[in-house]
Amino acid sequence: MNVNTLILGAGAAGMMAAAHAGTEVLVVDHARAAGEKIRISGGGRCNFTNLHTDPARFLSRNPHFAKSALSRYTPRDFVALVDAHGIAHHEKTLGQLFCDGSAKQIVAMLRTEMDRAGARLWLQTEVGDIAHDGAAFRVDLVREGRPVTVTARHLILATGGKSIPKMGATDLSYRIAAQFGLPLVAPRPGLVPLTFTDDRFAALAGTALPTRASANGTAFAEATLFTHRGLSGPAILQASSYWTEGGTLTLDLAPGTALGDALVTAKRDAARKTLTTVLSYHLPTKLVQYLATHASDDWPSGWQTAPLATLPDAALRDLGAALHHWHLIPSGTEGYRTAEVTLGGIDTAGLNSRTMAAKHLPTLYAIGEAVDVTGWLGGYNFQWAWASGWAAGQAI
């Protein structure tokens, strides 16, 4: 069978590309349904874009690569599409747009756009050997158990990253890219909970508080959640993409509050209260108890029994500073099992930023999460999938 364009992967990027790649388009996917990650995203409501999309909110070895596609296909363009399909939506927080109803509406919208463009979709299709004879790709497929060979002038790699293998994530795009001489940036889990070798936070599991989490110089002011295995919540997921093995995670446990000043003020106003009582006005009581038991190196001596009035101002200020800079060394992450995205992937050095095509083989394209462009939490990764898929589609 002959097509003009074969797209591997019917996820966010692949479906978007299919809607824009002209005629004779075939999309194949080994899953039973298209857009499964869209369906489960955003707690079933799909955080489909972010109004504050900016290349600075993406990680890549080449921070300039994403600029072209993101500036040509913007959140406004995607919102216009969503509006044209009558899908109601709202801004939740920080520019994050969600469906009012269900993420399934976004999948249905993309399927409709694909149908309008005349693109075909083969599900439950496995991808086998791939060759290029100088003019076209020959791709061996097994469709619902039957072998089929497809010849395609253009081949788009859109099978995403390695996150959530249980949902069918594979390294197929990386393998095909490597076969055709495209370099890779080592993939690693991103937007992922951080773990510790011991169960030090088990007693705090379920406790959440507003924080500022930073790793490798990038900070996020959002909530942190303590879990049985370590730390999660949006601030931690965001920081995890910047954190590297062996590195330090720093938590500000009371961003926006000058804790040292607050303790010194409390010393005057509530002189007979204890330190833990006063700290509990600013932090969850369970956390104060934990810190007092397990992380009290920076606490003034005698704090356990002494009333606040007897503790020196300098010691209270030092404790405040320590609580604004709690340094932790996670042992690792929860890995691809729970990671929302995969950092790294097909190195942008081998790709044209306007078309997403391989520089040395311009009929081979890579889009979406398979490429070494990873967004922050909050709709940025879908915006990259839409923009890169659109850019490849336009180029065909």
Nearest distance, CB of residue 64 and ligand FDA, angstroms: 20
Our CB check for ligand FDA shows the closer of 36 and 347 to be 36
Contacting ligand FDA within 69-128 (CB under 6 A): 127
Q: Which of 159, 168, 157, 160 is nearest to 132 (CA)?
A: 157
Whether 333 contacts 227, CB under 8 Å: no
Shorter beta-carbon distance to ligand FDA: residue 382 or 390: 382
List the Cα angle 286/291/297 in 5-degree steps: 170
Residue 144 contacts residue 125 (beta carbons within 8 Å) = yes
Among 299, 303, 382, 386, binds ligand FDA (CB under 6 A): 382
Sort 14 into a burial class: Cβ within 10 Å, 0-12 / 13-18 / 19+. Answer: buried
Cβ neighbour number for residue 298 with a 10 Å cutoff: 15
* Residue placing its CB nearer to ligand FDA in the complex, 168 or 307: 168
For ligand FDA, give the closer residue by CB, 31 or 258.
Answer: 31
**With binding defined as CB under 6 A, does residue 57 bind ligand FDA?**
no
User: Cα–Cα distance between 21 and 7 in angstroms, integer?
Assistant: 10
Q: Please name the residue ranges forming H helices in 63-103.
A: 67-72, 75-84
- Reduce the DSSP state of residue 19 to 3 states and report it: helix
Piece of the chain touching ligand FDA by CB under 6 A; list 7-15, 140-148, 285-293, 326-334 = 7-15
Q: Which amino acid is at 89?
A: H
Q: Does 164 bind ligand FDA (CB under 6 A)?
A: yes
Q: Which of 14, 187, 189, 193 binds ligand FDA (CB under 6 A)?
A: 14
Q: Determine which residue in the list 182, 266, 385, 396 makes contact with ligand FDA, applying CB under 6 A.
A: 385
CB of 284 to ligand FDA, least distance (A): 27
Contact flag: residue 12 with ligand FDA (CB under 6 A): yes
What six digits make up the tokens of 122?
A: 């083969």
- Given a contact cutoff of 8 angstroms between Cβ atoms, the answer to whether 351 and 19 are in contact is no
Cβ(379)–Cβ(395) below 8 Å:
no
Strand (E) or helix (H) holding 165? none
Q: Using CB under 6 A, count the residues that bind ligand FDA.
A: 36
Q: Look at residue 291 and give its three-state secondary structure.
A: helix
| 299 versus 382: smaller Cβ distance to ligand FDA | 382
Q: Evaluate whether 286 touches 204 at the Cβ level (below 8 Å).
A: yes
Q: Which is nearer to ligand FDA, 159 or 333 (CB)?
A: 159
- In single-letter form, the type of residue at position 14 comes to G
9 binds ligand FDA (CB under 6 A): yes
64 or 337: CB nearest ligand FDA: 337
Give the residue, chosen from 30, 154, 212, 324, that forms a contact with ligand FDA under the rule CB under 6 A: 30
Pairing of strands 326-328, 332-333: unpaired
Give 369 or 372: the residue with its C-beta nearer to ligand FDA.
Answer: 369
Stretch that binds ligand FDA, among 52-60, 168-176, 200-208, 317-325 (CB under 6 A): 168-176
Provide the mask over 335-354, with x wherever binding to ligand FDA is found by CB under 6 A and - wherever it is not.
Answer: -----xx-------------
Burial class (CB in 10 A: 0-12, 13-18, 19+), 208: middle
Q: Tell whether residue 160 is a contact of ligand FDA (CB under 6 A).
A: yes
> Are residues 44 and 36 in contact, defined by beta-carbon separation less than 8 angstroms?
no
Residue nearest to ligand FDA (CB): 11
Burial of 31 (0-12, 13-18, 19+ CB in 10 A): middle
Indicate which single residue of 22, 55, 101, 168 sits in contact with ligand FDA (rule: CB under 6 A).
Answer: 168
Q: Choose which of 3, 5, 7, 11 interacts with ligand FDA (CB under 6 A).
A: 11
Binding site for ligand FDA (CB under 6 A): 9-14, 29-31, 36-37, 40-42, 46-47, 127, 158-160, 163-164, 168-170, 172, 340-341, 368-370, 379-382, 385
